[in-house]
Amino acid sequence: MLANLAVLFFGLAGVLGKLSGLPAPLIVLGRVVFAGVALLVAVRVLRLPLRSRSAHHLRVLLAQGVLLAVHWTAFFQSIAVSSVAIGLLSFSTFPLFTATLEPLVLKRHANALQVLAALLVLPGVVLLVPSLSLANSTTAGVCWGILAGASFALLSVTNRWLGRSYPSLVISLYQDGVAALVLLPTLLIVPLRGLFTLRDLAILLALGVVCTALAHTLFIEAMRGVTAQLASLFAALEPVWGILFAFVLLGEIPASRTLIGGVIIIGATLLPAGGHFPRRQTATPRLRRWLGRYMPRSSSSP
């Protein structure tokens, strides 16, 4: 499924950011620049219209770009000051915010089970926090991760609303382009000497093309057929992949307290799923429908 593949790439993103060693705003800037270029090429090749359908839509798209910059900066800052596991698990609190925002933005009735599951995330967060002092790096990481989760929840819900009117590639291009403009002044603030080596650029390229342009677009596309809350359930696997990648590539081993908190958070996220996962479909028809949304009608296929 598209969402599962996107989550695999999302799980790798935090590890690549940690490997780069760059400040969080510069990681995000490099990420959205490479992603924006890749998306622009794709949009031009597929001849997708970029013009917004209304002034209101344009304002929402621009605001989403600013929110994306905040979200990713908070996410990488969380990992930078703590660990990949703490950053991913604290970010995974976003169902708590999604359960609140989805009824408000999409005019849906609140689901009692989803609200209960969202509240059950809180004990897991408590276990992640070793002390109430922001001087503690883990606590600071949790706070940044929760900010990343809250901003991601708003992005998820609004992307579903925008997805009714625009292709995923166009939404992603707007958001990454605006995020790049928002973060551009970072180059004037952060000392750049010794930064952006060939290794750093290779990592940012992977972040931008694979973990952003491709993963972000796949995730938005996957959300068209499900609620944002159900998409959140698929995303529950992100910390699992991320922790595994961190162990293999960085040698990070989470503390037992962190793992227990993570199990509670992921378990609470999966609770509303019950028997309501989408029926399994074969890959070929699903892929054809996905490509059909983007390939020009005049083009032929073998």
Looking at residue 300, what is its pLDDT? Answer: 31
| Phi and psi, residue 280, nearest 5° | -70, 135
At residue 75, φ and ψ (nearest 5 deg) are -65, -50
**Structure tokens that stand for 126 in this block:** 């408590």
Q: What residue has token string 């209960």?
A: 116
Residue with tokens 């609190």: 93
Distance CA(252)–CA(137), nearest Å, equals 16
User: pTM of the entire structure?
Assistant: 0.80
252 within 8 A of 84, measured Cβ to Cβ: yes
Does residue 297 register a pLDDT over 80? no
> Could you tell me if 1 and 222 are in contact, meaning their C-beta atoms sit under 8 angstroms apart?
yes
List the single range of 11-20, 187-196, 286-295 with lowest mean pLDDT: 286-295
The tens digit of pLDDT for each residue in 74-123 reads: 999 999 999 999 999 999 888 788 877 777 766 666 667 777 877 888 88
What pLDDT shows up at residue 150?
Answer: 92
pLDDT in tens, 217-274: 777 677 666 665 566 566 667 888 899 999 999 999 998 989 999 898 888 877 765 5
What pLDDT, in 10s, does the model give residues 28-64? 999 999 999 999 998 999 899 888 888 999 999 999 9
CA distance 203 to 128: 29
